[in-house]
Amino acid sequence: MLPLSLRQLQVFESVARHLNHSRAAAELFLSQPAVSMQIKQAEQTIGLPLFEQAGKKIFLTEAGREMLHYARSVVLLMQEMESVFDEMKGLQHGHLSISVVSTANYFMPQLLAKFIQAHPKIKVSLSVANRDAVIKHLAENVADLAIMGQPPEGTDMAADSFMENPLVVIAAPTHVLATAKNIQPRQLANETFLLREQGSGTRGVVERFFASHKLPLPTHMAMDTNEAIKQSVQAGMGLGIISIHGIELELETKRLVVLDVDHFPIVRHWYIVHRKDKRASVAAQEFARFLSEESQNRTSGLTANTSKKRSPTAKTAK
């Protein structure tokens, strides 16, 4: 059997990740026929089909799943080799792919713009997705780094906190509690809440907060985006618990208020997450250092007027 070429492995890995020839072609700057030809040649080389088609969709065969394991390892090694050469050139060159959860997109573009201004020759790509998709980007080596509030469990990923992520209780300015002081948790038990979906990091913090005060979870509606929560709270449908980083504009325009609730804000953290088995490029290391420095003063200004005593369990909420 003739050896597979690096190009064939690269093309196969991209098609296997997207399960779509057109997307792989666009990613690799190739024509779709060229991608199809590379896959056909790879299948001829190993003597087994790598994909099977059902309707308009393609799926990996058993041989394809085996191939993907090795192809990802080879592609990763090639990228690490490129990173080593980029290191030899310093920070004048290089590529950095970052994936962030949707809530982090409220502050990441401003930080990223400042980083790019300081390092204009580093090519940076930013992807915004839900938590599961961001973790998948890391696992499939699509992203060099990820930014999220709840790091994945397990041993394949490493996470380093770089900025506080305070969760606050929000209400419409016309809400009966909008001007109340030192609101106690039991006063919230009869309110309606707009919460993130079951399984989300924020939802877990809210559930633990009420449980720690021996209170049932209040009447609530589940929503899958923070934007939906903010719009619903503004409309007077209830209260919300959300990261303060996601409501800067609404606070400035007085469309939302932060309630003065005892034991709030609950302080979580933002994390930089990366694969343990992937060598961090100089660009990635520099970006991590940059985030740590830039984030030191960001949260203090936001929470200056909302900081209150936190419960012992809330201090380490994750």
Structural contact between residues 172 and 256, judged by C-beta atoms closer than 8 angstroms: yes
Tokens 């699509």 locate to 142
Domain boundaries, the chain: 6-71, 86-163+269-298, 164-268+302-315
pLDDT of residue 49: 93
pLDDT of residue 92: 59
pLDDT of residue 56: 86
pLDDT of residue 48: 92
Structural contact between residues 243 and 166, judged by C-beta atoms closer than 8 angstroms: yes
pLDDT of residue 306: 46
For 91, phi and psi rounded to 5 degrees? Answer: -90, 20
Predicted confidence (pLDDT) per residue in 125-164, tens digit: 898 888 888 988 888 888 999 999 888 887 789 999 998 8
pLDDT of residue 235: 94
Instruction: Say how many C-beta atoms besides its own lie within 10 A of residue 74's C-beta.
Output: 15
Question: Tokens for 27?
Answer: 């990613």
CA atoms within 13 A on the CB side of 237: 17
pLDDT of residue 280: 81
For the chain, the distance separating the N- and C-terminal CA atoms, rounded to the nearest angstrom, is 51
Type of residue found at 187: Q
Strand partners, 269: 164
Structural contact between residues 97 and 144, judged by C-beta atoms closer than 8 angstroms: yes
The whole-angstrom separation of Cα 147 and Cα 109 is: 12
Pick the CATH number of 6-71 from 1.10.510.10, 1.10.3720.10, 1.10.10.10, 1.10.357.10: 1.10.10.10
As its CATH architecture, domain 164-268+302-315 has 3-Layer(aba) Sandwich (3.40)
Question: Tokens for 90?
Answer: 């310093």
pLDDT of residue 83: 73
Q: Which residues of the chain have pLDDT under 50?
A: 299-300, 302-316, 318
63, burial (CB in 10 Å: exposed 0-12, middle 13-18, buried 19+): middle
Fold classification of 86-163+269-298 (topology level): D-Maltodextrin-Binding Protein; domain 2 (3.40.190)
pLDDT of residue 256: 95
pTM above 0.95, yes or no: no
Structural contact between residues 170 and 259, judged by C-beta atoms closer than 8 angstroms: yes
Domains 6-71 and 164-268+302-315 share a fold: no
SS3 (DSSP) at 216: coil
List the one residue out of 56, 67, 53, 77 whose CA is nearest residue 8.
67
Q: Positive or negative, the Cα torsion across 43, 30, 132, 297? A: positive
The whole-angstrom separation of Cα 252 and Cα 257 is: 10
Q: Which residues contact 210 (CB under 8 A, 6 or more apart)?
A: 185, 188, 189, 216, 217, 218
Element (H, E) at 129: strand 123-129
